[in-house]
Amino acid sequence: MSQFVRFTIDGTECMATRGQFLVDAAKENGIYVPTLCNYPGVKPKGSCRICTVRVNGKLMTACTTPVAEGMNIESEVKDIVELRKSIIELLFVEGNHFCPACEKSGNCELQALAYRFRMMVPRYPYQFPLKKVDASHPKIIKEQNRCILCKRCIRAIRDENGKSIFAYRRRSAKVEVVVDPKLGKQLTEELAQKAMDVCPVGSIIVKEKGFVTPIGERKYDRTPIGNDVENMQITTN
């Protein structure tokens, strides 16, 4: 069996290593499939559903589906683009996201995706849920208003014995990501920073440090999100 497989994305012939996940395979072929819960080097979970594509007629998440020979993938088609935009809007109405007051503004992937998808205002009614802020840990603040429940921190951050520091709690719309009471207290500065960097939004914030990079000069202030536009500069007059 050849190590390489051929497939098409929106009609474009692509080639990738067998078994590679679709998002990565697309990226290697210069095609951007938007992602949010996916994170390089961390086992994919397919929980945000933004990377949904249609593979041979079936909806699948590109972050969890390995490429196979002859796959016919639809990505930038009307209904799927619309679906992705819908999901971004849903995440906005599910929580309480006030970008101007958020330390992560400009580095926030949800915000960057909203810009990229030209979201003006969500079409869904805001839920205005009552959420808590857990500031009981010495190094981090867990801001539940902004959590999009993507599980990145759960999957990426573990203590030296491999124990979970972050975990889901409850289910349904009541689900939340919580910090282990004991391990949260022992969190090192390094791991706290990593947790903040892993978080796509402003739900994990390192304490006593803020606005090191001024708003306006941050990652997505300069370049839009997406590997297809990474050389593009945002210019302001």
Partner 1 sequence: MKTGVRKILEKYGKDKTRLMDILIDVQSEYGFIPREITIQIAEELGMSEVDVDQTISFYHFFSQKPTGKYQIFLNNSAVANMMGRAEVAEAFTKELGIRFNEVTPDGLVGLFETSCIGMNDQEPAAIINNHIFTRLTPFRAKEIVRDIKEGKNMEDMVVADYGDGENRSDLIKSVVSNNIRKIGPILERNYKVGQAIEKITKMAPEQVIEEIKKSNMRGRGGAGFPTGLKWEFCRNATGERKYILCNADEGEPGTFKDRVILTERPRLLFEGMVVAGYAVGATEGILYIRHEYKYLQQYLESILQKARETNYLGKNIQGKKGFNFEIRIQFGAGAYVCGEESALIESAEGKRGEPRDRPPFPVEKGYLDMPTVVNNVETLCSVVKVVLNGGEWYKSFGTTESTGTKLLSISGDCRFPGVYEVVWGFSIDDILDMVGAGKEDVQAVQVGGPSGAIIAPNEFNRILGYEDLATGGSLIIIGKNRDILTNIVLNFMEFFIEESCGSCSTCRIVPTLLRNKLTKILNARGVKQDIEDMIEWGKILKASRCGLGQTAANPVLSSIKNFRYLYEEKIQKNKIFDNGFDLSAAVKESCRVTGRVPNI
What residue ranges bind partner 1 (CB under 8 A)?
44-50, 52, 59, 61, 64-66, 83, 86-87, 90-91, 93-94, 124-125, 127, 148-149, 151, 159, 161, 163-175, 178-183
User: From the CB of 187, what's the least distance to partner 1, in Å?
Assistant: 12
User: From the CB of 211, what's the least distance to partner 1, in Å?
Assistant: 29
Residue 123 CB neighbour total at 10 angstroms: 11
Residue 4: beta bridge partners?
17
User: From the CB of 91, what's the least distance to partner 1, in Å?
Assistant: 6
Give dist(CA 157, CA 174) in Å, integer: 23
Q: Which residue's CB is nearer to partner 1, number 31 or number 50? A: 50
User: From the CB of 62, what's the least distance to partner 1, in Å?
Assistant: 11
Q: Which residue's CB is nearer to partner 1, number 93 or number 99? A: 93
Give dist(CA 130, CA 150) in Å, integer: 19
Q: Which residue's CB is nearer to partner 1, number 46 or number 226? A: 46
> 89 with 123: CB under 8 angstroms?
yes
Q: Which residue's CB is nearer to partner 1, number 42 or number 167? A: 167
Q: Which residue has the tokens 């205005």?
A: 128
Q: Which residue's CB is nearer to partner 1, number 45 or number 194? A: 45
User: From the CB of 206, what's the least distance to partner 1, in Å?
Assistant: 20
Residue 33 CB neighbour total at 10 angstroms: 28
For residue 8, the SS3 value is: strand
Give dist(CA 82, CA 182) in Å, integer: 43
